[in-house]
Amino acid sequence: MKQRGRHRRRRQGRALRAALTGAALALTGAATLISASQATVADDPGSLEPLTSVTETDALRLTEHRVPSPWLDRLSAAMGEPVGVDTVLDSADHTLRDAADCATGDREALPVSPAATRAYCWEDEDTEGWRPGAVTTSGDADEDGRWGAHRVILSAWSRDDGTPGGGLARVSFVDADDPDHLDYTSALLAVPVDGGHNYRGLASPVSGMVWYQDKLLVTTGAGGRDALYVYDVERIQRATTDADAVGRVPGGWAADGHPYVLPAVASYRLSGAQDAARPAAISLDRGTAPDSLVASERVPADGDRPTRLWRYAFGTDPDRTGLPAADSAGHVDAVEAYETGAAEVGGVLSHRPAGAERADWYLGRAAGGHDGRGTLWRQDTEGARATECGADRSQRCWSGQAGSLSYWAQTGEVWSQSGRMLFALPLTSIEDALD
């Protein structure tokens, strides 16, 4: 049985690669139809301009607020002993489909150039009414690329029911041990309230997410001063009822029908500056000492100001695992910051190749107010370059929604998500497309 399974997975892998290649060729052909005027819409953002004044960097400051330990302990006492990632993965009850089995309309969300080498789509019924968000992996969580014995992908989703504060956010835990068969299940993101006697759903889209050590950091949308929420992957609670409600209900605890709930353990609030920068996309950079959290804000295409890019250092205190470095007042300050002419930044990466003097910044830019595809740029203090595709060398070759970017160093892959497609491609293929 195992031998037949391996042969079947090999055939599926060959079919997937053929499907992805065919899709990329078809999309490239479509890209040649883009007019020259459309190809130049993605204006060159120029070089990165360092931000050095106190006024500029103060606008990037965050202030840490920890959820009191008694609140979390009270929830655990009421809901039961927390579980870990292994338990969640063992209960995976949904399956991602290979790209070859995905709808053509879904595959159109994949980038044209460079093309994805691995791609999957989510179950229709499970994602109906939910919008895809950020992606992170166990490659962020640990230097060996695993969490315990597993390779894991985390995918964020959000839902807005149209009422103030009525949105929800969840994270899908994907067992990525077998690339030919990805199973997953989801946990609702929550915020403890009422002294830990209850919790509410996180009413925000999650456009950025990083899993670092035992903490999961997620961005929040506009509407409040809390810019980041932090979750502890060792504090996952089981829901005790599958009711559509959230929090304490008659007979137990509900998580909108999800089997698990993650209560926040901390949040980071924006500075009081009028021009305070809200992180929209985040990623991990292990090429700095210490490791750092890379962030970008999202300025609309018709905005009248540059976009800020910056980084926070992670702390090295063993009593504060997975958290950014903070001073005695709880302030977290940027250790490096720039401005860029790029707008609609949906994904950001900072990576310094071996032997290089400085890091390159990669920006995934959404299509914005224009129809079609986004762009992928590499930028530094000397200039910028975009990937190109089609006979007219259009720069609109990336996914239109330009989701977050997450680099899995152990495999050399960059993961992202656009529409209902989860996909990966080697960082080397991005470099080749930019040379």
| 10-residue averages of pLDDT along the chain (435 residues) | 38 47 46 39 83 96 98 97 97 96 94 96 94 97 96 96 77 97 98 98 96 98 91 98 95 96 98 94 96 97 94 96 97 98 96 89 82 90 95 90 94 96 97 93
pLDDT given at position 219? 97
> In the block, which residue shows the tokens 């203090």?
381
User: pTM of this prediction?
Assistant: 0.90
Residue 164: C-alpha distances to residues 131, 158, 203, 204, 280 (Å) = 18, 14, 9, 11, 21
Task: Give the helix/strand (H/E) hosting 19.
Answer: helix 2-31
**Sign of the alpha-carbon torsion through 317, 318, 319, 322:** positive
Nearest residue to 311 via CA among 290, 329, 330: 290
Task: Give the helix/strand (H/E) hosting 74.
Answer: helix 69-79
pLDDT given at position 162? 66
CA–CA separation, 409 vs 95, rounded Å?
25
CA–CA separation, 126 vs 123, rounded Å?
5
pLDDT given at position 94? 97
pLDDT given at position 224? 85
Task: Give the helix/strand (H/E) hosting 56.
Answer: helix 54-58
Nearest residue to 174 via CA among 349, 417, 362: 417
The amino acid sitting at 175 is D
Coil/strand/helix, residue 297: coil
Q: Strand 237-238 vs strand 226-232: parallel, antiparallel, or unpaired?
A: unpaired
CA–CA separation, 389 vs 371, rounded Å?
17
Coil/strand/helix, residue 132: strand
